[in-house]
Amino acid sequence: MTVNMIIATFAWVLLVLGFLARKKRSRHIPLMHSAIILDVGLVLYLQVTRDAVQTAMEFSLSLPEQIHILFSTLALVLYFPVLYLGWAVVRGKSGARSKHRKLALVTFVCRTLGFLFMFSMWQSPAS
């Protein structure tokens, strides 16, 4: 497993822990922020060092690798409205909680699928 995969796994574990603590704001909010910052940071780093987006756009990758990129990108884009709605819940905006929950669940599923398909990119040192 590469260092980037370990970081991505750590971010996903934070997301799972934050999800399990969804009823406890004092834990849920910092865990979700940490996971999101780590994920966004990793994508920015991969973009700078490897032109990740250009590689994805070339469609030269295998189907599982493309599925990984599709769901990971979806999750990354959805993080922003989820963040916005999360803070709207904190501000006490009516209706925000149900919207946050629905969109957050979709985001969590996307990120989990992206995470599982990430392992299709795992190459043994010998190969």
Q: According to the binding rule CB under 6 A, does residue 99 interact with ligand HEM?
A: no
Residue of closest CB approach to ligand HEM = 86
Burial annotation 32-63 (CB, 10 A radius, 16+ → b, else e): bebbbebbeebbeeeeeeeebeeebeeeeeee
Minimum distance, C-beta of residue 20 to ligand HEM, in the bound complex (Å): 10
By the rule CB under 6 A, 33 interacts with ligand HEM: yes
Q: Is 27 in the site for ligand HEM (CB under 6 A)?
A: no
**13 Ramachandran zone, left/alpha/beta (phi>0; psi -120 to 50):** alpha
Does 14 bind ligand HEM (CB under 6 A)? Our answer is: no
Q: Is there binding between residue 50 and ligand HEM (CB under 6 A)? A: no
